[in-house]
């Protein structure tokens, strides 16, 4: 089967850097995506890695190592508004469905 594991909760302070890890087991691999979801809101796309290495988008960066079946999301200069749930996701094999990780609840404290 396919599964993705993430830490359930992470706490950090404003201005800090936090890394959210994701390990995955998939049959076939089509890239790793990251989504942010604020409570009561829509999951929104943050970043995507198809190849190994680092992708940077403003304060957010995402890293992928296909040989280790591992990726992470790096959030820099944390702000209170970054408090949300973060999900990694992979494409579900030959179909277009997304398989999501267990989600990480990030709490940013003053």
Partner 1 sequence: EAGVTQFPSHSVIEKGQTVTLRCDPISGHDNLYWYRRVMGKEIKFLLHFVKESKQDESGMPNNRFLAERTGGTYSTLKVQPAELEDSGVYFCASSQANSMGRDYTFGSGTRLTVV
Residues found near partner 1 in the complex (CB under 8 A): 4, 30-31, 33, 35, 40-45, 48, 50, 87, 89-92, 95-103, 105
Instruction: With residue 42 as reference, give the H or E element that holds it.
Output: none
* Sign of the CA dihedral running 24, 93, 88, 19: positive
Q: In angstroms, give the least distance from the CB of 23 to partner 1.
A: 14
Q: For residue 78, give the nearest of 103, 58, 62, 63 by alpha carbon.
A: 58
Q: In angstroms, give the least distance from the CB of 91 to partner 1.
A: 6
The smaller minimum CB distance to partner 1, of residues 21 and 102, is found at 102
The smaller minimum CB distance to partner 1, of residues 48 and 60, is found at 48
The smaller minimum CB distance to partner 1, of residues 32 and 108, is found at 32
Half-sphere CA count of 6, side-chain side, radius 13 A: 26
């Amino acid at each position: 089967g396919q599964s993705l594991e993430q830490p359930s909760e992470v706490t950090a302070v404003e201005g800090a850097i936090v890394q959210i890890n994701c390990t995955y087991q998939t049959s076939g691999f089509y890239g790793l995506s990251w989504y942010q979801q604020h409570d009561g809101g829509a999951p929104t796309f943050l970043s995507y890695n198809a190849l190994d290495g680092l992708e940077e988008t403003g304060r957010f960066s995402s890293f992928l190592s296909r040989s280790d079946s591992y990726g992470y999301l790096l959030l820099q200069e944390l702000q209170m508004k970054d408090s949300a749930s973060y999900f990694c996701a992979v494409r579900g094999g030959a179909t277009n469905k997304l398989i999501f990780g267990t989600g990480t609840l990030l709490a940013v404290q003053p």
